[in-house]
């Protein structure tokens, strides 16, 4: 049974359609992230679910009833803000007590909940501190403690890690998922960070220009996206124009700007866009790989867990490759002649978009 149901919701502002007939189900206990470029409507959608914004059309219900018109203290929602929104004049413990206090719980129960939630986010030792004495990461842990203190069944998180240092973000995102799962909460998390979304979510909702582009599990959307926009937005990809030349029982051959590309058979039109993620592009020296596309390395960057290469192929195509860490420096350098191959089971194909490739890729 879905916990949150969004049906055909639209929201318009003067000169802007923030949400355009959006429908979505979030199931009980699920951790779902809504992701898309700035201005795609993800925050508006979250606020509509919270009952803060009223849609122009459509219906939203949480646990079977709409939240519009329900007083905040009766909504069973915890909300975590990007900028923490802590009460500056209250100490850590008082902030953590706020939720249960608004709910009208007894003093004893309020105290217990505050102790418990601060314990969960590992802030018990700072309970007397004021928010301005805390680091960014600790502030957001407190924001989270306060949100779960009102014993919600639904946790809404609006760019909760957006203001934090990269290293703090990595630690805290693990905590977010752990807490939501331990408490059996349904969580909806808005972010523009692809890796963050993929790493913590059961499912992702990809949005663009007020519409839902695609919904699915992180690995399915990453490895098998149905839309060009998803392939591009959720991690990088090389996009190449191709034409089907021959089709056999099990495989087919494409012409990609004069080079042959063999792919497993699939039902596709003649004109296609071939997409391949940089980490599925294999680069080697010609003496080590007899077959593939010739070219050379024009740029190389060491990234730690991988090395990134920019290649210029003999047919004029530019391709990015990413080779995973191998324990030592990769023996390939700028200027080297190379042979490039694509990992066969990771080649994606899409019908050539009628509006052109550029508009499909635009993340602006």
- Positions in the binding site for another protein (CB under 8 A): 37-39, 135-137, 165-168, 170-171, 192-196, 198-200, 217-220, 222-224, 233-236, 277, 279-280, 299, 301-306, 308, 322, 324-325, 327, 329, 343, 345-346, 363
Element (H, E) at 240: strand 238-247
Shortest distance in whole angstroms from residue 288 CB to another protein: 17
CB-wise, 39 or 353, nearer to another protein? 39
CB-wise, 62 or 120, nearer to another protein? 120
Element (H, E) at 241: strand 238-247
SS (H, E, C) 150-201: CCCCEEEEECCCCCCCHHHHHHHHHHHHHHHHHCCCEEEEEECCHHHHHHHC
Following DSSP, what letter does each residue of 26-95 receive, concatenated?
A: EETT-EEEEE-STTSSHHHHHHHHHTSS--SEEEEEETTB--TTS-GGGS-EEEE-TT----TTS-HHHH
CB-wise, 62 or 161, nearer to another protein? 161
The pair phi, psi for residue 226, each rounded to 5°, is -90, -15
Following DSSP, what letter does each residue of 140-151 receive, concatenated?
A: HHHHHHHHHHT-
Residue with structure tokens 């690995």? 219
Sign of CA dihedral 130, 133, 139, 142: negative
Residue 277: count of CB within 10 angstroms of its CB: 22
Chain centre distance of CA 262: 31
CB-wise, 47 or 277, nearer to another protein? 277
Enumerate residues 6+ apart whose C-beta is below 8 A from 247: 253, 265
CB-wise, 113 or 204, nearer to another protein? 204
Shortest distance in whole angstroms from residue 296 CB to another protein: 17
Shortest distance in whole angstroms from residue 324 CB to another protein: 4
CB-wise, 9 or 40, nearer to another protein? 40
Q: What is the DSSP letter of 280?
A: G
CB-wise, 165 or 262, nearer to another protein? 165
Shortest distance in whole angstroms from residue 182 CB to another protein: 12
CB-wise, 30 or 51, nearer to another protein? 30
Distance CA 26, CA 280 (A): 32
CA angle at residue 209 from 204 to 212, to 5 degrees?
Answer: 35
Beta-bridged to residue 349, according to DSSP, are 274
Distance CA 357, CA 351 (A): 10
Shortest distance in whole angstroms from residue 16 CB to another protein: 13
Shortest distance in whole angstroms from residue 38 CB to another protein: 6
CB-wise, 150 or 232, nearer to another protein? 232
CB-wise, 229 or 350, nearer to another protein? 229
Shortest distance in whole angstroms from residue 85 CB to another protein: 19
Shortest distance in whole angstroms from residue 255 CB to another protein: 25
Shortest distance in whole angstroms from residue 166 CB to another protein: 4
Shortest distance in whole angstroms from residue 292 CB to another protein: 16
Query: What does the block give as tokens for 16?
Result: 């802007």
């Amino acid at each position: 049974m879905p916990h949150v149901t969004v049906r055909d919701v639209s929201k318009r502002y003067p000169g802007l359609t923030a949400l355009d007939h959006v429908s979505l189900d979030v199931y009980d206990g699920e951790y779902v992230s809504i992701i898309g470029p700035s201005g795609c409507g993800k925050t508006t959608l979250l606020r509509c679910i919270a009952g803060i914004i009223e849609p122009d059309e459509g219906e939203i219900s949480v646990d079977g009833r709409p939240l519009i018109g329900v007083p905040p203290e009766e909504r069973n929602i915890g909300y975590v803000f990007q900028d923490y929104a802590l009460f500056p004049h209250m100490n850590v413990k008082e902030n953590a007590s706020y939720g249960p206090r608004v709910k009208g719980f007894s003093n004893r129960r309020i105290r217990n909940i505050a102790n418990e939630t601060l314990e969960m986010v590992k802030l018990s030792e700072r309970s007397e501190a004021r928010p301005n004495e805390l680091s960014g990461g600790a502030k957001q842990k407190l924001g989270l403690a306060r949100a779960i203190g009102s014993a919600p069944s639904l946790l809404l998180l609006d760019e909760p890690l957006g203001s934090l240092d990269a290293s703090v973000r990595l630690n805290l995102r693990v905590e977010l998922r752990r807490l939501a799962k331990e408490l059996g909460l349904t969580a909806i998390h808005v972010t523009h960070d692809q890796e963050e979304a993929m790493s913590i979510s059961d499912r992702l909702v990809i949005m663009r220009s007020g519409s839902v582009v695609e919904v699915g599990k992180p690995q399915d959307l990453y490895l098998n996206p149905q839309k060009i926009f998803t392939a591009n937005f959720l991690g990088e990809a090389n996009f190449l124009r191709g034409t089907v030349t021959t089709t056999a029982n099990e495989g087919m051959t494409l012409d990609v700007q004069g080079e042959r590309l063999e792919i497993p058979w699939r039902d596709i039109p003649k004109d296609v866009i071939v997409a391949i993620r940089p980490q599925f592009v294999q680069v080697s020296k010609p003496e080590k790989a007899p077959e593939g596309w010739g070219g050379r390395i024009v740029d190389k960057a060491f990234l730690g867990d991988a090395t990134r290469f920019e290649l210029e192929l003999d047919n004029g195509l530019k391709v990015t490759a990413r080779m995973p860490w191998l324990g030592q420096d990769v023996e390939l350098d700028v200027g080297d002649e190379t042979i490039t191959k694509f990992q066969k089971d990771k080649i994606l194909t899409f019908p050539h978009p009628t509006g052109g490739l550029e508009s499909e890729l635009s993340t602006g």
